[in-house]
Amino acid sequence: MEKLAKISFDKMGSIIAERKGTAADPKIMVVGHLDEIGFMVSEITGNGFIKLLPLGGWWGHITLGQRVVVLGKKGAVIGVIGSTPPHILEPEARKKVLEVTDMYVDVGVRGKFDVKKKLGIHVGDVVVPDTKFTIMATKDMYLAKAIDNRFGCAAAIEVMWRLEKVKHPNTLYSVGSVQEEVGCRGAGTAA
């Protein structure tokens, strides 16, 4: 994008590429968001389980059993999201959707393992889904995390490239915004 436009960042972290046309107005913004849903470490239990806070919209039904990566100070640590086993729960509790805050990440440690010292995981660290890009049965269908975000950013960049040699009476802004998953905040501040 640096070859095509003036690049800047707003105070929230959105990336803004600005390219003037033959006139300053009207101004047009094409935006895709850079962020994706995930979690944040809220607590580390005495037995090494990692409690979570959701970042963005998670639904309990799809959260359990997800492979995740905890991004700690010493690098990425693979884990799986778990909860109290259903056979231990009261019958009424089994009928309810668990809240993410009632779940934990199991990173495969035993006993009094010091997750902070040995794995570098601390409260506030980010936890993201571990989903690999996959081509599905129909070769033009794909499975990936945050694919809507990625296509949106790619579209914003592609518009800038396609208008590279086209005269237009606008100022074009191609934006990679932040904090869409928690309320479309970055698009608002970029605009």
Q: What is the pLDDT of residues 79-136, one digit of tens each?
A: 999 988 888 888 888 888 888 888 999 999 988 888 989 999 999 999 999 988 999 9
Structural domain total, the chain: 2
Q: Which of the four pLDDT bands, split at 50, 70 and 90, describes residue 176?
A: very high
Query: Domain limits at 152?
Result: 6-35+146-190
SS3 for 19? strand
Question: What share of the chain in percent tops pLDDT 70?
Answer: 100
Catalytic residue among 90, 164, 180, 181: 180
Hey, which bits of the chain come out as E strands? 6-9, 15-20, 27-33, 38-44, 50-55, 67-72, 75-82, 104-106, 126-129, 134-135, 142-143, 171-177
Do 183 and 167 lie in one domain? The reply is: yes
Residue 51: pLDDT band with limits 50, 70, 90: very high
* 115: CATH: 2.40.30.40
**Apex 159 CA angle, 10 and 23, nearest 5:** 75
Is 180 an active-site residue?
A: yes
113 assigned to some structural domain: yes
